Amino acid sequence: MPKSRVRKTEVYTPPPKRSARKQVSPPWLAPTMVTLMVLGVIWLVIGYITNYAFPGMSAMGGQGGNLLEGFALLVIGLGISTQWR
C-alpha cells in the first residue's frame, strides 16, 4: 500500500485580540425586552378571551388589527433581545 504524503503545517496564527473592555447591555434593555413580550402576550390573551370586546380593543381595528398589534409587540421585544449581551 502506498504511503500518504505528509502535509506541511501552516504557521499558527493566533486569533486577533479583543478589546479589554467587556461589552455589556444597557441597563434598560432587559426590562424593556421582557415588558414588550409580556405585553404582547397579554394583549393577545385578553383579546382572545374577550373576543376583542374589551373596552378600547374594538376601536383599534377589530380582531385583525389587535392580532397585528399583539404580534408587533412580541416581534419588537424579540428584535430588542438580539442586542442583549
Q: How far apart are CA 30 and CA 32, in angstroms?
A: 5
CB within 8 A of 29, min separation 6: which ones?
80, 83, 84
- Model confidence, pTM: 0.69
Sign of the C-alpha dihedral computed for residues 42, 44, 49 and 54 taken in this order: positive
Tell me what pLDDT residue 29 has: 95
Distances (CA, A) of 58 to 37, 49, 68: 22, 14, 13
Task: Indicate the number of domains in the chain.
Answer: 1
Q: How far apart are the first and last CA of the chain?
A: 54
pLDDT (tens digit per residue) in 8-21: 777 788 888 877 67
pLDDT (tens digit per residue) in 47-74: 899 888 888 777 777 788 889 999 999 9
Q: Is residue 4 one of the residues assigned to a domain?
A: no
Task: Kindly state the average pLDDT of the residues 22-34.
Answer: 91
Q: Is residue 37 one of the residues assigned to a domain?
A: yes
